Amino acid sequence: MAIHQFDAIVVGAGGAGLMAALYASRGAKVAVLSKLYPSRSHTGAAQGGIGAALGNLEEDHWQWHAYDTVKGSDYLGDQDAIEIMCREAIDVVLELEHMGLPFDRTPDGRIAQRPFGGHSRDFGKAPVRRSCYAADRTGHMILQTLYQQCMKHNVTFFNEFQMLDLIIEDGVCKGVVAYDIDTGELHTFHSKGTLLATGGWGKCWSVTSNAFTLTGDAPAIALRRGIPLEDMEFFQFHPTGIYKMGFLITEGVRGEGGILLNKDGERFMERYAPTMKDLASRDVVSRAIHLEIHEGRGIDGKDYVYLDARHLGKEVIEKKLPDIAEISRVYLGVDPVTEPIPIQPTAHYAMGGIPTDVDGRVILDAQNTPLYGLYAAGEVACVSVHGANRLGTNSLVDLVVFGKRSGQHMARFVREIDFQELPLEAETATRTELTRILANDTTQETPAKIRNELQRTMSRGVGIFREDAGMKETIAKVKELKERYQKVGTDDKGRRFNTDLLEAIELGNLLDIAEVTATCALNRTESRGGHARGDYENRDDDNWLKHTMYRQTPSGEAEIFYKPVVITTHQPKERKY
Ligand SMILES: Cc1cc2nc3c(=O)[nH]c(=O)nc-3n(C[C@H](O)[C@H](O)[C@H](O)COP(=O)(O)OP(=O)(O)OC[C@H]3O[C@@H](n4cnc5c(N)ncnc54)[C@H](O)[C@@H]3O)c2cc1C
């Protein structure tokens, strides 16, 4: 049994984890654990850009960015956190530039910016150019830049190490238990500060833009350790996923002027959002596509519509959207220069997650009581800046701003305290679970079978539109799948690279997260942002202007309580686009 000791442990090597590790490393000995090689993290897939009110091409202010974020969140975002994010985004983007991030440039050499869904000038008057980008590979560039910086600052990496448990005792987090994928050995990581940055859980749904590995490991583990999860009913469906496959076509295509068409060749977004049109916020556009399809105006009566970029011309497409052109040609055999791209909404982004304060400390209740030594940042965390719906480009901002703040706070925190003694048998529960799964055979249940059923029931019952009966059916089905999960076995019984075993464990996490999502969705009897109910069509501020907190009691019962929304400047108004 290997035991490692570091002041700070960061779990996850996406944008959030690397930014936190980089800042923590300025005052502490830091290690990053990642189940993937760092540059394979999903941040590398981010295409569209990172929003910051630099005002390089036209007037812009962080207060306008904050207003758009609050409105986009359908007034559920905490405005104190949103103000911090939009204000600090400006300096952090410049900092990334100085670290060497190769942004596209304006003719006079400043960072280029383009319009993006939901981002406007002067409190909603017209679209504004706010998204800073490096072609359609912004996330890739962020990841490479931060990884280099972490190497330079002597951050230690444990690549292909999968966290399987958190060590929490007497209200203090003391580290994590992780599995070395190469050798099959368990390792204990003893720390003063631990940060969770494991990204999202789009794999709960059948059609998703998310990578195979986005299985909600950290929130599932946190839940089992008594930590509440916040606003889990809010999951974003991105309007433009490649038909049937879900791979993302960035909003940048519409930012550059691409438009959506139904089977009649009609630019239908003009009806749903007269001002912002195709650049209305994602929940609005996804619902519009869903309704067009539902009412028989999908292409050839099927469940997709067209994203048309032909009028942008070959040069713009090849230069500004090269990866999109390639994805479309390779996976669909469609050349966006000459043909419209078949698209449908795709499960994309978790607005909810592990609740934190603005310094990334994980909190336990409505009074913001922190759990000592535990932090979270990035998509896995809920600060909450995205509320009920996230604007495009605001995830990358969230990662770098709150990743940095968490890293800075951890560096201070670990200087002030000593290592707390580890419990004697920190890894026993994990070892027992691994042994249990390995002892099962595959004659009864396999991870793939249960995962497919889970994804189907979630897509049907807790997708873009939700209704009482469908959600209840999904909850019952997930409970049945959880029972069957106890019998899941693996063909591979070995130790080296037993991905069968890890997939089985990840499925256990997906099942827990799906149950929480469906339960919170059924509980919220209104429509807001990404949570659209056919049976409660309106937003209900009198009863529901509050965050859902879901906790599992020690006896395994579900408990829901609430946390007030922080409102500073913008009182809730009806959203018009
Ligand atoms: C296709 C696509 C395009 C996007 N485009 C944009 C965009 O243009 N602009 C924008 O703002 N947002 C965009 N987003 C959203 C944004 O990219 C993500 O929300 C963000 O990158 C998440 O970053 P993260 O650091 O939280 O986690 P990730 O980058 O997802 O990284 C998660 C890390 O956690 C590790 N990990 C997970 N589980 C474990 C475990 N059990 N043990 C150890 N390690 C673990 C993984 O190895 C990985 O290193 C896009 C998302 C997708 C899917």
Q: Report pLDDT digits (tens) over 144-168.
A: 999 999 999 999 999 999 999 999 9
Q: Is there an atom of ligand 1 within 6 Å of 13 CB?
A: yes
Whose C-alpha lies nearest to ligand 1, atom 20?
43
Q: What is the residue type of 55?
A: G
Q: What is the CA radius of gyration of the chain?
A: 23
- Cα distances (Å, whole numbers) of residue 253 to 25, 272, 503: 38, 19, 34
C-alpha 200 – ligand 1 centre gap (Å): 7
C-alpha 43 – ligand 1 centre gap (Å): 4
Residues 6+ apart with CB under 8 A from 29: 6, 7, 8, 156
The CATH class for the domain spanning 240-346 reads alpha beta
Whose C-alpha lies nearest to ligand 1, atom 31?
14
Q: Is there an atom of ligand 1 within 6 Å of 248 CB?
A: yes
Residue 171 CB coordination number (10 Å): 12
Q: What is the pLDDT of residues 353-400, one digit of tens each?
A: 999 999 999 999 999 999 999 999 999 999 999 999 999 999 999 999
Residue 473 CB coordination number (10 Å): 15
DSSP state of 275: T
- Token duo for residue 384: 């909450």
Strands (E), 70-183: 113-121, 126-132, 156-159, 161-169, 172-180
Q: What is the residue type of 24?
A: A
Could you give the CA distance from residue 521 to residue 466 in angstroms, rounded to a whole number? 8
**What is the number of alpha carbons within 13 Å of residue 97 lying toward its C-beta?**
18
At the second CATH level, the architecture of 428-564 is Up-down Bundle (1.20)
- Token duo for residue 144: 């490479």
Could you give the CA distance from residue 128 to residue 281 in angstroms, rounded to a whole number? 14
Could you give the CA distance from residue 467 to residue 527 in angstroms, rounded to a whole number? 11
DSSP state of 573: -
C-alpha 402 – ligand 1 centre gap (Å): 14
Residues 6+ apart with CB under 8 A from 438: 490, 493, 501
Task: Please answer whether residues 327 and 200 qualify as being in contact, where contact means their C-beta atoms are separated by less than 8 angstroms.
Answer: no
Whose C-alpha lies nearest to ligand 1, atom 49?
13
Q: Is the bond into 384 cis (omega within 30 degrees of 0)?
A: yes
Q: Is there an atom of ligand 1 within 6 Å of 34 CB?
A: yes
Q: Is there an atom of ligand 1 within 6 Å of 210 CB?
A: yes
Q: Is there an atom of ligand 1 within 6 Å of 346 CB?
A: no
Q: Is there an atom of ligand 1 within 6 Å of 406 CB?
A: no
Q: Is there an atom of ligand 1 within 6 Å of 14 CB?
A: yes
Q: Is there an atom of ligand 1 within 6 Å of 25 CB?
A: no
Q: Which atom number of ligand 1 is nearest to the Cα of residue 163? A: 42
Q: Which atom number of ligand 1 is nearest to the Cα of residue 403? A: 25
Domain boundaries, the chain: 240-346, 428-564
Residue 515 CB coordination number (10 Å): 24
81, with CB counted inside 10 A (0-12, 13-18, 19+), is buried
Mutate to test the pocket of ligand 1, among 32, 40, 41 (most ligand atoms within 8 A of CB): 41
C-alpha 379 – ligand 1 centre gap (Å): 7
Whose C-alpha lies nearest to ligand 1, atom 12?
395
Report residue 302 CA to chain centroid gap.
29
Active site residues: 282
Residues 6+ apart with CB under 8 A from 225: 165, 166, 168
Could you give the CA distance from residue 15 to residue 195 in angstroms, rounded to a whole number? 13
Residue 107 CB coordination number (10 Å): 6
Q: Which atom number of ligand 1 is nearest to the Cα of residue 348? A: 53
Q: What is the pTM of this model?
A: 0.96
Smallest CA-to-CA distance from 38 within 149, 136, 138 is with 149
Mutate to test the pocket of ligand 1, among 198, 207, 331 (most ligand atoms within 8 A of CB): 198
Q: Is there an atom of ligand 1 within 6 Å of 33 CB?
A: yes
Could you give the CA distance from residue 392 to residue 128 in angstroms, rounded to a whole number? 13
Q: Is there an atom of ligand 1 within 6 Å of 407 CB?
A: no
C-alpha 269 – ligand 1 centre gap (Å): 29
Find tokens 């009581």 and name the residue.
Answer: 369
- Cα distances (Å, whole numbers) of residue 13 to 144, 274, 402, 501: 11, 41, 15, 22
∠ CA 384-375-142, nearest 5°, is: 75
Q: Could you read off the pLDDT tens digit of each residue along the chain, which spans 577 residues?
A: 799 999 999 999 999 999 999 999 998 999 999 999 999 999 999 988 999 999 999 999 999 999 999 999 999 999 999 999 999 999 999 999 999 999 999 999 999 999 988 899 999 999 999 999 998 899 999 999 999 999 999 999 999 999 999 999 999 999 999 999 999 999 999 999 999 999 999 999 999 999 999 999 999 999 999 999 999 999 999 999 999 999 999 888 998 899 999 999 999 999 999 988 998 888 889 999 999 999 999 999 999 999 999 999 999 999 888 888 999 999 999 999 999 999 999 999 999 999 999 999 999 999 999 999 999 999 999 999 999 999 999 999 999 999 999 999 999 999 999 999 999 889 999 999 999 999 998 888 999 999 999 999 999 999 999 999 999 999 999 999 999 999 999 999 999 999 999 999 999 999 999 999 999 999 999 999 999 999 999 999 999 999 999 999 988 899 999 999 999 999 999 876 6
Q: Which atom number of ligand 1 is nearest to the Cα of residue 199? A: 27
Residues 6+ apart with CB under 8 A from 91: none
C-alpha 472 – ligand 1 centre gap (Å): 30
Q: Is there an atom of ligand 1 within 6 Å of 306 CB?
A: no
> How far does the chain reach from its first CA to its final CA, in angstroms?
58
C-alpha 42 – ligand 1 centre gap (Å): 4
SS3 assignment, position 118: strand
Could you give the CA distance from residue 396 to residue 374 in angstroms, rounded to a whole number? 22
C-alpha 392 – ligand 1 centre gap (Å): 14
- Cα distances (Å, whole numbers) of residue 165 to 219, 228, 433, 506: 11, 16, 11, 12
Whose C-alpha lies nearest to ligand 1, atom 10?
393
Q: Which atom number of ligand 1 is nearest to the Cα of residue 38? A: 49
SS3 for 443-490 is CCECHHHHHHHHHHHHHHHCCCEECHHHHHHHHHHHHHHHHHHCCECC
Q: Is there an atom of ligand 1 within 6 Å of 398 CB?
A: no
- Token duo for residue 116: 């993006």
Could you give the CA distance from residue 347 to residue 354 in angstroms, rounded to a whole number? 19
Q: Is there an atom of ligand 1 within 6 Å of 118 CB?
A: no
Q: Which atom number of ligand 1 is nearest to the Cα of residue 18? A: 25
Residue 65 CB coordination number (10 Å): 28
Q: Is the bond into 527 cis (omega within 30 degrees of 0)?
A: no
C-alpha 20 – ligand 1 centre gap (Å): 14
C-alpha 267 – ligand 1 centre gap (Å): 32
Beta bridge partners of 129: 115
Per-residue confidence (pLDDT) for residue 577, from 0 to 100: 66
DSSP state of 376: E
Per-residue confidence (pLDDT) for residue 509, from 0 to 100: 98
C-alpha 170 – ligand 1 centre gap (Å): 31
Q: Is there an atom of ligand 1 within 6 Å of 47 CB?
A: yes
